[in-house]
A and B are shown apart, each in its own frame.
Chain A
Amino acid sequence: MLGSFSAALVLGLPARFYVITTAMYQMLAQYPPRFPLAAAMGVSLFAVMFAMLFLYRRIVTAGSYATITGKAFRPRPMHVGKLRWILFGICAVYLFVAAILPILTVAFASLQKLAVGRPTWQSWTLDNYVTALSLDAVRSALWNSLLLGLGTATIGVLFMGLLSWIIYRSRIPGRGVIEYIVMFPQAVPRLVFAFGMLWAWLSFPFSIYGTLWLLLIAYLTVFLPLGVRTISSVLLQIDKSLEESAQMCGASWGYRLRSVTLPLLRPGVIAAWLLLFVASVRELGASILLTGPNAKAITPAIVEAWFSISTELTAAMALIQTLAVAVALALLFTFARRASQYGGE
């Protein structure tokens, strides 16, 4: 949570309530930008994160936290009697406040000319959607984000699948180190990471800054832990002997990969693809520093609209984005359910 950024930015900034990431962003967004100070803040945040990561590893390695063991285990429902409805109520209220209410509010605001608590009949409109979809900036940002989502997800599953395979299945020396490096971006707040990238690429001879390529590279890096974990969790469920028996049948590496490993890995690859897609489309922390006039992404564009245009238009944009992500999520769940069973084909 130390690295969290988007909520703090939108809710905290107008009230001048800063957290470390938003403060860093302020340093960089003002003119002239105060790079050294922002860098110092980033490094200190870095240090705290690593201390935490170290502590976490100490705790996890100290004891056994395995829940899945050789013995058959089945979760047993607990009887809570009359408490049942109270507990259900608490859950429902939480769900409502945390997830449904914000979306309803956004929808509510997006459908008005001027967002007020008690709108009259005439104030309802679809204009905001028309505007949002007709603005070139918004259209290109949404298009860019979907394109980046596709690119990140597609390149990501290939690249991260290969990394998972190297870490958990190959005999390549130094694969333990690779595992550590892969999990590295998890410890670094995305804003700090993007800041580092920004500086690094600015001083590079060829100009990649201000293009979608930079965003693609950034996404592929910050989502490395997500993709590798998703694919390796499926890879680890595939018993090694399934690949070995194909080898003993005389199949070459490529043939084995095609006929055994990939088909068995398919559910995991699909899940990883969709997760990467969704994560890329809604990414803010890294994108906000790396977008340029010709390379906008939808989430930074929404934040920009929030600070400079109107609440209603922002709401409409946010809802369009939410809808796009929701469609992807619906697909994810359909595939995830099918992923739990093989055969029957």
Chain B
Amino acid sequence: MVHDNASVTNPTTSLGDAHIEVKDLVVQYGQVTAVRGVSFAVRLGEQLTLLGPSGCGKTTTLRAIAGLEPPTSGEIVIGGVPVFSSAKRINVSAERRGLSMVFQSYAIWPHMTVFDNVAYGLRVRRLGARDIADKVRWALEMVQMGDFAQRSASKLSGGQQQRVALARAFVFSPSVLLFDEPLSNLDAKLRAEMRIELRELQHRVGITSVYVTHDLEEALAISDRIVVMRDGVIEQVGTPFEIYNFPRDAFVADFVGSANLIRGRHRPECGRDGLIALETPGGTLVYGTTHGRPVGADGVFSVRTIHLGLSREAPAAQANLWSVRIRRRVFQGDLTQYHVDWEDRQLVVRCTATDPLDEGEQAYLTVDPHRCVLLEAERTTA
């Protein structure tokens, strides 16, 4: 199965090596339902990311796993032990779930030193002073903060605070690490660095982790699998590669990087080489791949802006080759974005800026049919 959504469609099916299982989770605040029936599983040692726009319920889901937000109904199982179950009336308090969490606001205690912050979880567990000192040193070395142990926590920069928060979270070897948008308060450059560091750290420590973010690049960079959420439900579950290349519906296609959507009537008689053809309202035939999805009478292709190509000379393409006029050009640094007239609409193309085309110029637009991915039929109206 291409889409790892067995647990979505059939919540009773559990993965063999599942570390965390969330089943039919519903969270309501008064009249507002933040999470409406979410089911997924996190494998042992896996880094899973909940991705979605603000208000999609991703943070609420994370906090429900943590035990900081009481769910309305559903079940949460960690390491085979139910920590929440509305049916069995189980609700293990957050401090007894054996998890750990890194907060968006870092939540570093300003009245303690860096050492005391990191040592906190060890002291709670009543470790000996020597053991504590060793572990804290190890954890601080891990996040490259070894020299800061005696510094007052209130005198650290944002990036340093986040490193301390991270050390504090994994120093006592929790079974699961939860991340609530931990990098969103850092500047872009630091964020990019921390992303790679987090990924490396996760590999070294090997802890199962659930990560919440609204940042696509972050999700793609650090995740083993991504759960895309919207309005309290799961839109798609898959590896970063699957999510990016084979979005299931228009929302995911658009949210996970910019995409052009091309609608058309299915022309089965024009299909060839395992490709299908859609005829647009303007009569243009566009070839694409179904990616194993059923085709109805009509269909929608998602085409990433980066996969479309523009050139002055006609390339040797068999299908999906059109002559277009450049309407607008936007220089974006690494890439240049073109808006081209195509039928009675515009398509957005982004390509490297080596030989820029001018506005008003005629050019050839082409796209590999394998990059035109059919969306799932019942979801295209979204």
User: Which residue numbers of A lie inside 8 Å of B, CB to CB?
Assistant: 171, 239, 241-242, 244-252, 255, 259-260, 263-264, 342-345
Q: How far is the CA of A259 from the CA of B154 in the complex (A)?
A: 16
Q: Are A244 and B107 interface neighbours, CB within 8 A?
A: yes
Q: Are B107 and A241 interface neighbours, CB within 8 A?
A: yes
In the complex, what residues of A have CB within 8 A of residue B241's CB?
Answer: none
Per a CB cutoff under 8 Å, which of A249, A251, A255, A264 touches B111? Answer: A264
Q: Are A245 and B103 also in contact (CB < 8 A) when A250-B95, A250-B124, A250-B172 are?
A: yes
Q: Are B124 and A245 interface neighbours, CB within 8 A?
A: no
In the complex, what residues of B have CB within 8 A of residue A171's CB?
Answer: 70
12 further A-B contacts with Cβ under 8 Å, apart from A250-B121, A264-B109, are: A171-B70, A241-B104, A242-B109, A244-B107, A245-B165, A246-B109, A246-B120, A248-B95, A249-B120, A250-B95, A251-B124, A264-B110
Q: Are B94 and A248 interface neighbours, CB within 8 A?
A: yes
Q: Are B120 and A343 interface neighbours, CB within 8 A?
A: no
Q: Are B125 and A250 interface neighbours, CB within 8 A?
A: yes
Q: How far is the CA of A259 from the CA of B101 in the complex (A)?
A: 18
B20 in the interface (beta carbon within 8 A):
no
A-B pairs, 10 with minimum CB distance: A249-B121, A245-B107, A343-B152, A241-B107, A248-B101, A343-B154, A342-B110, A241-B103, A250-B124, A247-B94
Per a CB cutoff under 8 Å, which of A259, A264, A342 touches B120? Answer: A259
In the complex, what residues of B have CB within 8 A of residue A264's CB?
Answer: 109-111
B105 in the interface (beta carbon within 8 A):
yes
Q: Are A248 and B152 also in contact (CB < 8 A) when A242-B109, A263-B111 are?
A: no
Q: How far is the CA of A242 from the CA of B101 in the complex (A)?
A: 12
**Secondary structure of the A contact surface, majority rule:** helix
In the complex, what residues of A have CB within 8 A of residue B155's CB?
Answer: 343
Q: Are A251 and B152 interface neighbours, CB within 8 A?
A: no
Please name the residue on chain B nearest to A171 by beta carbon. B70
- The winner among B95, B152, B178 for most chain A CB atoms within 10 A is B95
Q: Are A247 and B107 interface neighbours, CB within 8 A?
A: no
B99 in the interface (beta carbon within 8 A):
yes
In the complex, what residues of A have CB within 8 A of residue B372's CB?
Answer: none
Q: Are B124 and A344 interface neighbours, CB within 8 A?
A: no
* A-contact bits for B56-71, CB 8 A (1 contact / 0 none): 0000000000101010
Q: Are A251 and B107 also in contact (CB < 8 A) when A246-B120, A259-B120, A342-B154 are?
A: no
In the complex, what residues of A have CB within 8 A of residue B96's CB?
Answer: 250
Q: Are B124 and A255 interface neighbours, CB within 8 A?
A: yes
In the complex, what residues of A have CB within 8 A of residue B70's CB?
Answer: 171
Instruction: Name B56-114 residues within 8 Å CB distance of A.
Output: 66, 68, 70, 94-96, 98-101, 103-105, 107, 109-111
Q: Are A249 and B124 interface neighbours, CB within 8 A?
A: yes
In the complex, what residues of B have CB within 8 A of residue A263's CB?
Answer: 111
In the complex, what residues of B have CB within 8 A of residue A345's CB?
Answer: 111
B168 in the interface (beta carbon within 8 A):
yes
